[in-house]
Structure 1
Amino acid sequence: MRAIVFDFFGTLTDPAAEAGRRESFTATAAALAIPADRFWQAMGASFPDRITGRYGDTRATLRRIATECGADPDEADLDAAVSAQLAGGVRVRPPRAGVLDLLDRLRADGYRLGLISDCSSELCESWPETPYAPRIDAPVFSWQEGCRKPDQRLYAAVSARLGVSAAECWYVGDGGSREHDGARRAGMRPVLVTNTAYPDAAARRSDPDPYTPELTIADLDALAPLIRT
């Protein structure tokens, strides 16, 4: 095995941070003069299209969401809303405890590191400034690729960009978006991170995976011993 492909939210990020996503949208809704509950509902309903790029970048997305909610923001309002939305994105993606050191150790051990994330425009636009960017050799984002997990094109893209075959990749994730079934079908070896210490995390997974991998770990700190066996 020459490479490790990670999920992002709830795997590399702190699983507890996802609980703050709704609150993080409040400032965006205020900038657009949309009631917070209405904005939250519209963002949730548009999620499948937003994460595959159909709403465009963050500015275009917020303009369209505002229109759908009956608002008509001017350019200054949109400037404020984009800033608020990107700031909210920062709040929901803090690194899981110890994960940056783990990524550094895995790279030092010679592993190529990849990422597949079902994400909207905010993560893609901010990626170069995140602490993850210099540690991930091949990030693959649904928003850029125009498809979401478990679409096989994502797994093929990450293995190709890593310069390895799918059979040489571990796939590590918390089990949303049917990601492990996709990894298995792609020929990767899946590992489920159960996030046992975060009992509410599983309820926030989008499109939970009906397939449970043979290999499971309670937290990401158990990954290195597992893959070295």
Structure 2
Amino acid sequence: MRAVVCDFFGTLTDPGIEAGRREAFAATAALLGVPAEPFWTAMSTSFGERITGRYGHTRAMLRAMAARCGAEPSEAQLDAAAAAHHAASVRLWAPRPGALETLARLRAAGLRIGVLSDCGAELCDGWPATPYAPLVDATVFSWQEGRRKPDPLLYATAAHRLGVEAHECWFVGDGGSREHQGARDAGMRPVLVTNAGYPGAGRFRDDPDPFVPEFTIDDFPQVYRLIAAVKP
């Protein structure tokens, strides 16, 4: 095994922070002049479309979501809402305890590191400034690729960008978007992060994965010990 491909949200990030997503959406809605509940519904039900770029960049996406709620925000409202939405997104990227140190240890052990995430434009734009970027060799973001997990092309792209074969990759994730099924079908070796120490974290997963991998860990930092213990 030559590489580790990681999910981002709820795997590298702090799952406890996900509880703040609804509040963040409410703040964005207020700036758009839209009631919080309809906006939450619009954002939730459009997840698959938003993360594959169907609505364009953040500002255009927010205009489309406001239109779903029957509103036509002004240019100034859109500017303010886009800035607030990006700032709220950045807060959701906070690393879970031990995540950065674990990535560094894996790289020091000679493993290539990839991130494969279902995400919006905000992460694509902000990635270079994150503390993860210097520790990651390749990224595959759904918004840029126009596809979402478990699309097999995403896993193949991750392996290609890492310069390895899919069967030489571990895939580590918390189980949203049927990502482990996709990893298995692509030839990767999947690992489930259960987030057992974060009660309720699973409720934020979109399209939960019915496939449970052979290998499971409760917290991401445990992946180093798992990989070291399992024979290639």
In which range does the TM-score fall when normalised by the shorter chain?
Answer: over 0.9
Q: Distance in 1 between matches of 2:188 and 2:155?
A: 9
Q: Tell me the SS of whatever aligns to 1:59.
A: helix
Q: Distance in 2 between matches of 1:67 and 1:175?
A: 32
Task: Tell me how far 1:61 sits from its aligned partner.
Answer: 0.2
Task: Tell me how far 1:203 sits from its aligned partner.
Answer: 2.1
What's the TM-score once normalised by structure 1's chain length?
Answer: 0.97
The Cα offsets for residues 85-123 of structure 1, whole Å up to 9 and x where unpaired, read as 001101222100011111111111111100110111111
Question: Residue 123 of structure 2 aligns to which amino acid in structure 1?
Answer: L
Q: Which runs of 5+ in 2 are unaligned?
A: none
1:164 corresponding residue in structure 2: 164
Q: Tell me the SS of whatever aligns to 1:82.
A: helix
1:100 corresponding residue in structure 2: 100
Q: Which runs of 4+ in 1 moved over 6 A?
A: none
Question: Residue 8 of structure 2 aligns to which amino acid in structure 1?
Answer: F
Q: Distance in 2 between matches of 1:79 and 1:188?
A: 42
Q: Distance in 2 between matches of 1:210 and 1:70?
A: 36
Q: Distance in 1 between matches of 2:155 and 2:118?
A: 12
Q: Distance in 2 between matches of 1:179 and 1:46?
A: 19
1:73 corresponding residue in structure 2: 73
1:20 corresponding residue in structure 2: 20
1:45 corresponding residue in structure 2: 45
Are the equivalent residues in 2 in contact too, given 1:24–1:91 (CA < 8 A)?
no
The Cα offsets for residues 48-92 of structure 1, whole Å up to 9 and x where unpaired, read as 100111010101101111122222222211110111100110122
1:209 corresponding residue in structure 2: 209
Q: Distance in 2 between matches of 1:203 and 1:85?
A: 21
1:82 corresponding residue in structure 2: 82
- The answer to whether the aligner puts 1:143 opposite 2:143 as a matched pair is yes
Q: Distance in 2 between matches of 1:139 and 1:228?
A: 24
Q: Distance in 2 between matches of 1:79 and 1:34?
A: 15
Question: Residue 196 of structure 1 aligns to which amino acid in structure 2?
Answer: A
Question: Residue 133 of structure 1 aligns to which amino acid in structure 2?
Answer: A
Q: Distance in 2 between matches of 1:125 and 1:173?
A: 22
2:130 corresponding residue in structure 1: 130
Q: Tell me the SS of whatever aligns to 1:124.
A: helix
2:112 corresponding residue in structure 1: 112
Question: Residue 94 of structure 1 aligns to which amino acid in structure 2?
Answer: A
Q: Distance in 1 between matches of 2:114 and 2:170?
A: 10
Question: Residue 141 of structure 1 aligns to which amino acid in structure 2?
Answer: F
Q: Tell me the SS of whatever aligns to 1:192.
A: strand
Question: Residue 179 of structure 2 aligns to which amino acid in structure 1?
Answer: E
Number of residues of Structure 1 aligned to a counterpart in Structure 2: 229
Supply the RMSD in Å over aligned alpha carbons.
0.9
1:33 corresponding residue in structure 2: 33
Q: Distance in 1 between matches of 2:105 and 2:77?
A: 44
Q: Distance in 2 between matches of 1:47 and 1:115?
A: 19
Q: Tell me the SS of whatever aligns to 2:176.
A: coil
Q: Distance in 2 between matches of 1:44 and 1:205?
A: 11
Task: Tell me how far 1:30 sits from its aligned partner.
Answer: 1.2
The 5-angstrom pairing of residues 147-226 of structure 1 reads 147-226=147-226
What's the TM-score once normalised by structure 2's chain length?
Answer: 0.96
Q: Distance in 1 between matches of 2:177 and 2:46?
A: 16
